Amino acid sequence: MSEERSYWEGRLSDAYSLDGVGWQGLGEPFNRWMYRVRRRLFLSRMRPLVEGRSPDVLDVGSGTGFYVERWLELGAGSVTGSDLTATAVDRLGECFPALEFHRLDLSEPGARVEGREFDAISAMDVLFHITDDDAYGRAIANLAAMLRPGGLLVLSENFVHGEALRSPRQVSRTLDSIEGLVRAQGLEPVSRRPVFFLMNGPADSQSRVLRSTWGLTTRLLTRRPGLGNVLGALLYPLELALASLAREGPSTEMMVLRRSRR
């Protein structure tokens, strides 16, 4: 078992929850509000692209099934889930007995859901956990290979404009490098819009105000996670307004790409 898989097997075994798959240490109340933001923006941005189409969908890194549920809300014709961990695949099968789930390491050469192609694939808050650059390139290639011509890939990343930010469990890659990789696989960006401004780390900002505010938020919630309910409720409408109005953000952004029909 790879080190990365072992880490996530342990983490999800200890906490199979939004806190387990979300920002660890901030507590489940604040993570729930973060996922409410994700839900509103994912539905509003994807609905115009898939409405009336009943697409066959693959969700990668399904975790607790958050985006599996979103695709069902959007009226997908079929939803297939996948995850790096056996823990998640087993639990997802219990939660969604009518759906199909696979253990899939997207960074392995030729990783596929065998014999399947999809109209849409989601990889939300997943790819930046692949810290090896070659493995990241393979993951992009594998995603493109599983898409039908004209199919959509939706992913979330930090898309930084400066230098890549690297840590043992996460890499925030540059917008230019990611766009180069996806275009090499025949994927053309359709849109890129912000998700978070104040409720996630400002990876793509040098603003002292944003960095200080986020530092204060993490320290507060680490000590008193129950305050996440109050803080999340206060920030939620502001986060949605900023994400709807702005074209660039200081943190996570959502990109939609379409595979070439050629």
Which pLDDT belongs to residue 258?
98
Query: What is the per-residue pLDDT across 193-244, written as a single tens digit (0 to 9) for each?
Result: 999 999 999 999 999 999 999 999 999 999 999 999 999 999 999 999 999 9
In three-state secondary structure terms, 154 is: strand
Does the structure show a pLDDT above 80 at 18?
no
Neighbours of 61 (CB within 10 A): 23
Averaged over 68-79, what is the pLDDT? 97
For every residue of 201-226, which 3-state class applies, written as one string?
A: CCCCCCCHHHHHHHHHHHHHHHHCHH
Which pLDDT belongs to residue 115?
84
Instruction: Give the pairing type, strands 56-59 and 78-83.
Output: parallel
Does the structure show a pLDDT above 70 at 262?
no
> Which residues have a Cβ under 8 Å from the Cβ of 58 and sit 6 or more positions away?
80, 81, 82, 113, 116, 118, 120, 121, 122, 146
Which pLDDT belongs to residue 47?
97
- CA dihedral (86, 91, 92, 98) positive or negative: positive
Alpha carbon separation from 218 to 23, 162, 183, 227, 231 (Å, rounded) = 10, 24, 36, 11, 11
Query: What is the per-residue pLDDT across 103-146, written as a single tens digit (0 to 9) for each?
Result: 999 999 999 998 899 999 999 999 999 999 999 999 999 999 99
CATH of domain 3-259: 3.40.50.150
Query: What is the per-residue pLDDT across 150-204, written as a single tens digit (0 to 9) for each?
Result: 999 999 999 999 999 999 889 999 999 999 999 999 999 999 999 999 999 999 9
Chain position carrying tokens 């097997």? 9
Residue 16 contacts residue 91 (beta carbons within 8 Å): yes
When the pLDDT of each residue in the chain is averaged and rounded to a whole number, the result is 94
Q: Domain map of the chain by residue range?
A: 3-259
